[in-house]
Structure 1
């Protein structure tokens, strides 16, 4: 009768099945609003596709199967939503971590450059030729007209000074980032 646009037949089916279908949807979904939405969607679809439902043997079985399929769709959508939320949360956490790491690297680079600039002039020159120009101790000694041992001692002293200053700066930066 619904297939022939009988609104009275549709109202009767709605009245007969809405309560029991709602309870079933609510038990499956655990949410009143979602259960109401699924039920409304089911009955809206039945009315809009009423011309295609004349060949249904058991209307109650059809309603339960259609409702079950809609509930499964909602559950699948929830899983996709949850994956998206989890992915977004992970990204936010990692993004913060990456940002913190970049800040720490930038601050340490500034500390290193600052500490290198505070080295005695000759020691700074030897150290920069060793680290920035990648020259060997022998090449530096020849260029500056000093002995290999002096170059080695200057680089060693510079590293000792920088390690101490960088360790202190690194610990301070970590404390700031934690707070």
Structure 2
């Protein structure tokens, strides 16, 4: 039985490549703590740091025979943790941007949709209100507001006084405001 604490990293790697579980466990014990502290220091999040280090050792165990250790084991592990931390941060930024974008869309989408519904409802109430106006009042109001005719032009066209025109428009507006006021109760 080997005394793993006395073995150098290269010897532990070689034994781990031969599927010596004790050698791999010793690598894990030797480096887990310092890698965790390194990842936690960068991330500021203990759980994420644990996950990154655990994933690193899982990957190392599964791929140890394909890895060509050109540098020291400690350099390889630190570089791997750094790369995984950077990948995590990059991924987190993308997720955060997506969530911000989605939230902005959701907030704006609801507001736009709600605003559009209100506008259409208001148009329906105004149209219904104009249709319900008495004959001459409706005609005067439509000529004034939709055809932009002056009081004098309407008076000349309909053969009534400008005072009557002004009175009819004022009454029409009062009636429509009452109907629109009922809409504001619901919104």
TM-score by length of 2: 0.72
User: Structure 2 stretches of 5 or more lacking a match?
Assistant: 1-13
Alignment pair present for 1:61 and 2:81:
no
Using the TM superposition, name which of 94-103 and 41-50 deviates more.
94-103
Offset from partner CA, 1:103-146 (integer Å, 9 cap, x none): 221221122122212322134246558878x7x99xxx9xxxx9
Matches within 5 A, 1:67-78: 67-78=81-92
Aligned length: 170
TM-score by length of 1: 0.75
Query: Do the aligned residues in 2 keep the contact of 1:38 with 1:71 (CA within 8 Å)?
Result: yes
Change (3 A) 1:156 1:88: farther
**Which of 86, 97, 100 is matched with 1:83 structurally?**
97
Aligned-residue Cα RMSD (Å) equals: 3.2
What is the alpha-carbon distance in structure 2 between the residues aligned to residue 9 and residue 158 of structure 1?
A: 98
What is the alpha-carbon distance in structure 2 between the residues aligned to residue 123 and residue 165 of structure 1?
A: 11
Alignment pair present for 1:33 and 2:47:
yes
Deviation at 1:29, TM superposition (A): 1.5
Q: 2:9 matched to which residue of 1?
A: none
Q: 1:100 matched to which residue of 2?
A: 114
**Which of 78, 87, 112 is matched with 2:126 structurally?**
112
Change (3 A) 1:70 1:149: same
Q: 1:148 matched to which residue of 2?
A: 157
RCO comparison, higher one (Cα < 8 Å, 6+): 1
